A and B are shown apart, each in its own frame.
Chain A
C-alpha cells in the first residue's frame, strides 16, 4: 500500500483480556518495527523484524508481549492479560531495509486503553 496501515485505530479493553494489534507495512519494505508511546513519553522500542531473520525482541517489556510477522508482510503484536500500564499508543514503522537512509515510515498508531 501507499503507507503503513495499523488497525484498529482505537481499542478499549478490560484489564486481563488479550489484545491483538495489526500492522500492514509498505509493500517491499523488509524491515518492520514496533514502538510504544506512553502519554507524554518518547517512543519506546519493542521489537524489530528483518526479512526472515530472527526478530530483535530486546525491547519487549514482559513475556505478556509477543509479535509475529509472516515473511515481509503483515505483523501482529499481541498483549496477553492486559494491565493498565499497557495503555499507550502502539506505533508500527517500516523501512526498505535495515539502516535505510530514508528513515522509517510510521503508521498512525493504535491507541490502546485498558480499563
Chain B
C-alpha cells in the first residue's frame, strides 16, 4: 500500500541550529515527492519538490531535501533554523499518473531561543 511516514511528531530545535525532518515513503511507481509547510491558521505552502534528476533539491526559505531511493527517504534539511520556521511540516508522495497526493501525518517544529 502507498504510504508516507514521518517518524517524528514533534521536534524542538534551537534557533540557529541545523534541522532535519525525516520522511519515508512506500510507493509502487516512480514517486514525485513534496514537502509542504503549514503555519498556524494558514494553508499549506509548497517548500520543494522532487521528480527526477539531481537527488538534492533546493526549495524556498533555505530548505533542501535529499531523495535516497535505496532508503525510500526524502528528508528535509535546513542548516540554520529561524524562529519563523516554527510550523507544521508535511511530506507527500504522488506520481505522474496523477492520483491524489498522499500525505504524512506531519511533524511540528518548535524553535527555542
Interface of A toward B, CB cutoff 8 Å? 4, 31, 33, 35, 41-43, 45, 48, 50, 56, 59, 91, 93, 97-109
Contact = CB atoms under 8 A, between A and B. Distances in A.
Given A99-B95, A104-B46, A33 B100 contact: yes
A99 B44 contact: no
A48 B97 CA distance: 13
B17 interface: no
Given A4-B43, A45-B103, A93-B44, 10 more contacts: A31-B98, A42-B103, A43-B90, A45-B100, A48-B100, A56-B99, A102-B49, A103-B101, A104-B101, A108-B42
Contact of B98 (A4, A98, A102, A106): A98
B100 A109 contact: no
Nearest to B4: A42
A68 B104 CA distance: 26
B43 A106 contact: yes
Contacts of B94: 99
Interface string B19-47: 00000000000001010100001111110
A59 B100 CA distance: 10
Contacts of A59: 100
B113 interface: no
B102 A45 contact: yes
Given A43-B90, A101-B49, A103-B46, A50 B102 contact: no
